[in-house]
């Protein structure tokens, strides 16, 4: 039986996670971290490979019983995996959040209204306008040169998003867009066209309300 501690250090997923973060790990390595060890005649990565095959082929119907049927996965390990899946569903997967208008976006970003610094967020959407993910892209004074389109769209491409909405706050309380806000929006629209992701709106929020580029017809000023 091969435990993670018996694997050469440069191959150990825990050490890799510590040095590079969880995102650097492959699906197989993430499962190996959860499992910790294999069984006699079957090392941890071989067990992880069998679990990964089940997850990829039948994720919606995964269960304790199906996991326990895999050689090397007893009740304890099956429970660990099911707990990790359920935890992710509850806290990370946004189900049933549909974005229909600027008001929906304002509600989702209410935490920005009282911020003392400017926050720049992206909301990625699928083709049915369902929220995929909300991310903080940048914190600080926004300008044309600091917010790079390649960084803004990298996660959207990874999400396979059909559209994206940008949101930032004005701590001053004035929601009117500045020239820099307008220039940045034009730049992001052009970048969206190149990568095939539609910029649906750019919304400015403050304690006094919100401003929608789309509602004001400013998205067409390219």
Give domain status of residue 219, yes or no.
Answer: no
Give domain status of residue 143, yes or no.
Answer: yes
Using the 3D structure, point to which of 33, 58, 91 is the last residue of a domain: 91
> What pTM did the predictor assign?
0.57
pLDDT of residue 40: 80
193 and 123, same structural domain? yes
Which whole-number Å values give the CA distances from 108 to 78, 181, 205, in the listed order? 35, 21, 11
Which alpha helices (DSSP H) does 96-148 contain, by range? 102-108
Question: Mean pLDDT per segment of 10 residues, for the chain of length 222 residues?
Answer: 47 79 83 84 87 85 90 91 82 70 91 89 91 87 67 89 94 92 91 94 94 88 44
pLDDT of residue 222: 45
113 and 84, same structural domain? no
Using the 3D structure, point to which of 58, 91, 124 is the last residue of a domain: 91
195 and 109, same structural domain? yes
Pairing of strands 198-206, 163-169: parallel
206 and 113, same structural domain? yes
The strand pairing partners of 133, in sequence order, are: 124
pLDDT of residue 146: 65
Pairing of strands 198-206, 131-139: unpaired
Give domain status of residue 46, yes or no.
Answer: yes
pLDDT of residue 91: 66
177 and 129, same structural domain? yes
113 and 148, same structural domain? yes
Give domain status of residue 55, yes or no.
Answer: yes
pLDDT of residue 221: 44
Sheet with 131-139, side-by-side order of all strands: 131-139, 119-125, 163-169, 198-206, 209-212
pLDDT of residue 86: 81
Give domain status of residue 222, yes or no.
Answer: no
d(C-alpha 212, C-alpha 216), whole Å: 6
113 and 71, same structural domain? no
Using the 3D structure, point to which of 33, 62, 91 is the last residue of a domain: 91
pLDDT of residue 55: 85
Phi, psi (rounded to 5 degrees) for 7: -85, 140
Domain, as residue range, for 180: 102-212
CATH at residue 116: 3.40.140.10
Give domain status of residue 196, yes or no.
Answer: yes
107 and 67, same structural domain? no
pLDDT of residue 156: 92
138 and 72, same structural domain? no
204 and 116, same structural domain? yes
Give domain status of residue 136, yes or no.
Answer: yes
Give domain status of residue 221, yes or no.
Answer: no
The count of structural domains within the chain is 2
């Amino acid at each position: 039986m091969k435990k993670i501690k018996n694997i050469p250090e440069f191959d150990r997923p825990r050490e890799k996670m510590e040095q590079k973060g969880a995102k650097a790990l492959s699906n197989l390595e993430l499962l190996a971290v959860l499992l910790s060890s294999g069984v006699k005649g079957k090392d941890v990565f071989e067990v992880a490979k069998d679990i990964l095959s089940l997850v990829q082929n039948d994720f919606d119907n995964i269960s304790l019983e199906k996991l326990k049927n895999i050689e090397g996965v007893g009740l304890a390990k099956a429970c660990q995996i099911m707990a990790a899946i359920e935890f992710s569903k509850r806290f990370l997967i946004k189900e049933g959040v549909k974005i229909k208008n600027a008001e929906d976006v304002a509600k989702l970003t209410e935490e920005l209204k009282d911020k003392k610094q400017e926050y720049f967020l992206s909301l990625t959407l699928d083709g049915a306008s369902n929220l995929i993910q909300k991310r903080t892209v940048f914190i600080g004074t926004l300008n044309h040169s600091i917010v790079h389109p390649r960084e803004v769209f990298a996660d959207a491409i990874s999400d396979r998003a059909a559209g994206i909405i940008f949101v930032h706050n004005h701590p001053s309380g004035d929601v009117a867009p500045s020239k820099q806000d307008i220039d940045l929006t034009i730049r992001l629209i052009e970048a969206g066209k190149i990568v095939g992701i539609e910029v649906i709106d750019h919304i400015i929020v403050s304690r006094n309300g919100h401003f929608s580029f789309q509602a004001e017809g400013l998205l067409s000023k390219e």
